[in-house]
Structure 1
Amino acid sequence: MDYYLISAAAGDPEPAEILVEEFVLNDDHTAAGIDSAAWRAGSWAGAPALTRELRSDAGLRARVTAVDRPAAAEALALLGGGELPDEAGLRAHFQRQPLPAESPLDLGSGPAARRYRILFAGQLGERELADARAALRLEPAADPRVAGTAGADGFMWELRRIGADIAWCVDVTTRPGGGQDVTALGALLHHHRQAIRGLGLIPVTIERFA
């Protein structure tokens, strides 16, 4: 699960609300939806509208901090919300924000590479970009839109800027005909999503293009 603290104003260190999200994944590790609940005004409730706003409103993102479960539990206690429910208890409050479902592009009948894209809302400053390169073990790329590339165990990935200060993505490509383990792919996508999320970007979806 992903935990976020939301302050009343940008720059305010004290949280006012807590958002909990969980990506709903298909068998191929693409995203089917985002389940969420928020603690606000003294109670938990489903938060699909807040989930949508977080990905479309830069002003809201400026008030949001990604945290781990212990930090969320500490914040909830300070806000007078008592003990943070376990994951099953949080799921009881969830409501789902569906994500668009499209069939991957068929590039032919031969053994083609598969390309997955983890899309993020927000921007990376120079320090965060350096941290992202370190977290993903990236090497420099010739393309100015690409912050770096790396690869291991039949997978290749790159951190890419989308548009002019619009968004970022991590593209993960499998080797054609490589037969990469599905579990390993899921673990890699999860690691990359959490690594970039921890630097301040908000994961939007996970798509497959081939």
Structure 2
Amino acid sequence: MTIDSLPAGPASAAVEVTGAGPQLDYYLIGARDSTTTVEGILVEEFTRDRDFVTTGLASAGWTPQAGWWSSASLSRDIRTNPEMLARVVPTSRRQAEDAHRALGGGQLPDETLLRTHFLDHQPIASAPPLRLGPAQPPAGFHDRRVYRVLFAKDLRPDQVAALRTAWRTPAAGTSASGTNASVASGRLDGHGDQFSWDLRRVGHTLAWGLDVTALLATDATAALGSTLSALTDVLRQHGLIPVTTERFS
């Protein structure tokens, strides 16, 4: 089985916010040489505090030769080591099941059982929110929050174009300009709450950042968590690897 044989990322990227609980993230690990043969599977789950800020990362890897092993070091490497980053492809659970079966592992365990392999938790430091933007939310809202989700890896021009189409980004772009300009943006209104987001290169173009502004008129903060999760998953489907979620205000 090869990575190239797997379906490409979706042509569209509509944000579907559901009340479903957290799900695991799946990755395929490719060969070290110029081929793209799948060697194994990586399964991850971020831990977050009550403000949805990342506090840690739990993970486990699997190969036919070694079985399951806890892999905090591998999770670090795929976000910091360019060679490892090039070998890992975000995927869906269904595709991970197909790879697990094709590599001789049989049926992929359910997520409850997979979590029992998370033995090596990687803490991720967080800081109090920075105050960016106005101190008070606009009239009609009781809370204003700004988050940034950081991603490793890169996007192709066609993937950026697909995001712009799905998120209905204005043809003229966004208000930002220069190296930190937003390349795709969107907006979602629900039950009086408003969410808007901008995707841009950050860190001297070495990473991608998704900046999400939430204006909350209700006390349903679960909708905020679901929206952050859904947006993160959309970008995973397009090949980016999430690193952390920070709160700016």
TM-score by length of 2: 0.77
**AA partner of residue 227 (structure 2):** L
Q: Does 1:8 align with 2:31?
A: yes
Task: Say which is worse superposed, 142-151 or 27-36, in terms of deviation.
Answer: 142-151
1:181 aligns with 2:220: yes
| Counterpart selection for 1:61 from 75, 79, 85 | 85
RMSD of aligned residue pairs (Cα, Å): 2.0
Would the alpha carbon gap of residues 88 and 27 (structure 1) be closer, same or farther in structure 2, given more than 3 Å must change?
same
1:121–1:168 Cα contact (<8 Å) kept: yes
Q: Does 1:136 align with 2:167?
A: yes
Q: What is aligned with 1:79?
A: 103
* Cα deviation, residue 47, structure 1: 0.7
Where in structure 2 are the equivalents of 1:10-159 lying within 5 Å? Answer: 12-40=35-63, 41-94=65-118, 95-106=120-131, 110-111=136-137, 113-139=144-170, 140-144=173-177, 145-153=181-189, 154-159=194-199
- Partners of 1:59 and 1:172 in 2: how far apart? 30
Q: Which shifted more, 32-41 or 129-138?
A: 129-138
Pair 37,57 (structure 1): closer, same or farther in 2 beyond 3 Å: same
| CA deviation profile, 1:109-134 (whole Å, cap 9, x unmatched) | 74463101111012212111112223
Q: CA deviation at 1:209?
A: 0.8
Shift in Å at residue 44 of structure 1? Answer: 0.3
* Contact 1:10-1:62 within 8 A present in 2 as well: no
1:124 alignment partner, SS class: coil
Structure 2 counterpart of 1:44, one-letter code:
W
Distance 1:10 1:202, change over 3 A: farther
Amino acid at match of 1:196: L
Distance 1:10 1:187, change over 3 A: farther
Gaps of 5+ in 2: 1-23, 138-142
In 1: Cα distance, 2:204 partner to 2:130 partner: 26
Q: How far apart are the structure 2 equivalents of 1:10 and 1:186?
A: 39
SS of residue in 2 equivalent to 1:18: strand
SS of 2:205's equivalent in the other structure is coil
Q: Which consecutive unaligned segments of at least 5 residues does structure 1 have? A: none
Q: How many residues align?
A: 209
Distance change (3 Å), C-alpha of 1:31 and 1:62? same
Whichever residue aligns with residue 124 of structure 1, its letter is L
Distance 1:141 1:209 in 2: 20
Distance 1:149 1:18 in 2: 32
- With over 3 angstroms needed to count, the CA separation of the structure-2 counterparts of 1:195 and 1:180, relative to structure 1, is farther
Name whichever of 197-206 and 101-110 sits farther off.
Answer: 101-110
Return the match for 2:236 from 197, 201, 207: 197
